[in-house]
């Protein structure tokens, strides 16, 4: 399949470039900036994009791509740091500048190819501390802002372009048009990336594997879609196992079992392991340690089940692109944000091979696959739930009391959103609880109780998220219900941090 390759120089937006390009049915793949020339050639890209990054091209240890990439005669687009790399490589000069973070007005100086169809000035999102002081002689300026004279440059003869702003973020007006111009008009890549094609290709590939597959399902959309894809490929050689770890939403273990037995014709078993998980978490407060403990216990149960009910050769999971990225095992130089139980939490002693059919997909793409596979709408629109469950929505040690508070409070949040017809319009909503306490007044008495944090966010793919502006009346109703219906809660707060800099889950 024809594709655009994105070289990752460590920007928080690197994967958004891929996401935006995939939106117009073009496959985009992220690779490390220092990929070898041989490995890059094997991918057979139709064009290359250099992402942004936190470094400066003029420092001694700045990340640099292989020089030979510029000699491949492929179209290249540099974004932010990638723009500065191009300037530096072709004999221009990059200088330290005043940091610019936010929206700037971009004036188009040349509206052919890369900036065609843009029209008048547009708002462009800047996030940089360096800029091009001198443009290489083979390039000309095709766009500028009030503060950046070379905000967009082009060597049109060799199809090499650099832009100081970020077209991949939604704050840049017509940013998708710019990326589409590069991919379709300049690289002339075929629009072959569709979820229908993905399903067909994935089923075909999985059908070639030998041995039986054990698939851990949580009731969420990711593991469910993974199971259905595998079942479509190998039928009864798949066995699904649901583990009740005691860290689920209120009454969720019953709902999941009913859903699977009613809707899907797959082999399904459930295991009650509440005490096993909760005893292992006793006294543990570090979030990374909690994630690793939960991940390892899942694998112990899967391995034990496989030995007793096998033989199984494969363990399948619903791992997604964001899981891989945030666990620090992605293809770029990203730091570990958090260890996902099905990625960074896998122990070395695991004796099953891993099958991850969704590893290259984003959440919204998974939902499109789910529609193709006929997943019921109530599951399709179900909010994401972390693999380690409430262990990462409980700050500090997981206790019976905090578990009860998190379960009931989250249920209240969901019920009120459904009543307000907002549940399907937000990405994720839940209640978290920690060790902080505050004084309240119950009747005529002062009471020292827990603080509950409400988190509701809007997102497309979980790579970025913004806090949802709920009506004040709805927030008041949620708060009143939580403090009235949960005995140990005295305060309710609402989280107004976006991702980044925050994450969607508290731990």
State whether the Cα torsion 246-248-251-255 is positive or negative. negative
Element at 354 (helix H, strand E):
strand 353-355
**Domain segments of the chain: what residues?**
3-186, 195-380, 398-494
- Indicate the pTM of the whole model: 0.77
End-to-end CA distance of the chain: 38
To which residue do tokens 């064009």 refer? Answer: 47
Domain 195-380 superfamily per CATH: HUPs (3.40.50.620)
| Inter-residue contact 36 to 74 (CB < 8 Å) | no
Q: Peptide bond preceding 311: is omega within 30 degrees of 0, i.e. cis?
A: yes
Two tokens, residue 500? 């980044």
Provide the 8-state DSSP code for 184: I
Helix (H, G, I), strand (E, B) or coil at 398: coil
CATH topology (fold) of 3-186: Rossmann fold (3.40.50)
Structure tokens at 507: 């731990």
Say whether 195-380 and 3-186 share the same fold. Answer: yes
Q: 445-459 and 465-467: which strand pairing?
A: antiparallel
Query: Topology of 398-494 in CATH?
Result: GMP Synthetase; Chain A, domain 3 (3.30.300)
Q: Would you write out the chain's pLDDT as a tens digit for each of its 507 residues?
A: 899 999 999 887 888 899 899 999 999 998 999 999 999 999 999 999 999 998 999 998 899 999 999 999 999 999 999 999 999 999 999 988 777 778 889 999 998 899 999 987 999 988 878 888 899 999 999 999 888 889 999 999 999 999 999 999 888 999 999 999 999 999 999 999 999 999 999 999 999 999 999 999 988 899 999 999 999 999 999 999 999 999 999 999 998 888 888 888 899 999 999 999 999 999 999 999 999 999 889 989 998 999 899 899 999 988 887 676 555 444 444 433 344 445 444 556 667 888 999 988 988 899 999 999 988 888 888 898 988 999 999 999 999 999 999 999 999 999 999 999 999 999 999 999 999 999 998 777 788 999 999 999 999 877 778 999 999 999 999 999 999 999 899 999 999 999 888 999 998
Q: Given this model, what pLDDT does residue 182 score?
A: 98
Residue 270's CB: how many other CB atoms inside 10 A? Answer: 17
Active-site residues, by number, are: 80, 166, 168
| Total residue count of the chain as it appears in this document | 507
Q: Dihedral of the CA atoms 39, 40, 41, 44 (nearest 10)? A: 120
């Amino acid at each position: 399949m024809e594709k655009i390759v994105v070289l990752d120089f460590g920007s928080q937006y690197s994967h958004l470039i891929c996401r935006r390009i995939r939106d117009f049915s073009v496959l985009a793949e992220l690779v490390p900036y220092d990929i070898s020339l041989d490995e890059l050639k094997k991918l057979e890209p139709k064009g290359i994009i250099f992402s942004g990054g936190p470094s400066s091209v003029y420092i001694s240890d700045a990340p640099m791509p292989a020089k030979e990439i510029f000699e491949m005669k492929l179209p290249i687009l540099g974004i932010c740091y990638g723009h500065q790399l191009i300037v530096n490589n072709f004999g221009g000069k990059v200088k330290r500048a005043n940091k610019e973070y936010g929206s700037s007005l971009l004036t188009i100086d040349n509206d052919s190819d890369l900036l065609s169809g843009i029209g008048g000035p547009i708002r462009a999102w800047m996030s940089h501390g360096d800029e091009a002081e001198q443009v290489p002689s083979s390039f000309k300026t095709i766009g500028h802002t009030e503060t950046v004279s070379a905000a967009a440059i082009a060597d049109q003869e060799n199809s090499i372009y650099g832009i100081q702003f970020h077209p991949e973020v939604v704050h840049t007006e017509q940013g998708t048009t710019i990326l589409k111009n590069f991919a379709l008009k300049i690289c002339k890549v075929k629009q072959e990336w569709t979820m229908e094609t993905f399903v067909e290709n994935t089923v075909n590939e999985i059908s070639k594997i030998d041995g039986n597959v054990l698939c851990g399902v949580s009731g969420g959309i990711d593991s469910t879609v993974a199971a259905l894809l595998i079942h479509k490929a190998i039928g009864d050689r798949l066995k699904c196992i649901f583990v009740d770890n005691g860290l689920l939403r209120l009454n969720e273990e019953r709902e999941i079992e009913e859903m699977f037995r009613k809707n899907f014709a797959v082999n399904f078993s459930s295991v009650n392991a509440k005490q096993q998980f909760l005893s292992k978490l006793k006294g543990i407060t570090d979030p990374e340690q909690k994630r690793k403990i939960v991940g390892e216990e899942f694998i112990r149960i899967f391995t034990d089940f496989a030995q007793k009910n096998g033989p199984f050769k494969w363990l399948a999971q619903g791992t997604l692109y964001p899981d891989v990225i945030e666990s620090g095992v992605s293809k770029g130089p990203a730091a570990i944000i958090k260890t996902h139980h099905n990625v960074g939490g896998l122990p070395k002693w695991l004796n099953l091979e891993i099958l991850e059919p969704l590893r290259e997909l984003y959440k919204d793409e998974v939902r499109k696959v789910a529609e193709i596979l006929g997943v019921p709408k109530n599951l399709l629109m179900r909010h994401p739930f972390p693999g380690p469950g409430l262990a990462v929505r409980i700050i500090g040690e997981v206790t019976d009391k905090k578990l009860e508070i998190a379960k009931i409070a989250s249920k209240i949040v969901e019920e009120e959103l459904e009543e307000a017809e907002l549940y399907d319009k937000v990405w994720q909503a839940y209640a978290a609880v920690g060790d902080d306490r505050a004084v309240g007044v119950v009747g005529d008495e002062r009471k020292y109780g827990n603080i509950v944090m409400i988190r509701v966010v809007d997102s497309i793919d979980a790579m970025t998220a913004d806090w949802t502006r709920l009506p004040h009346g709805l927030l008041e109703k949620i708060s009143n219900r939580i403090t009235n219906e949960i005995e140990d809660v005295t305060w309710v707060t609402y989280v107004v941090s976006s991702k980044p800099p925050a994450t969607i889950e508290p731990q």
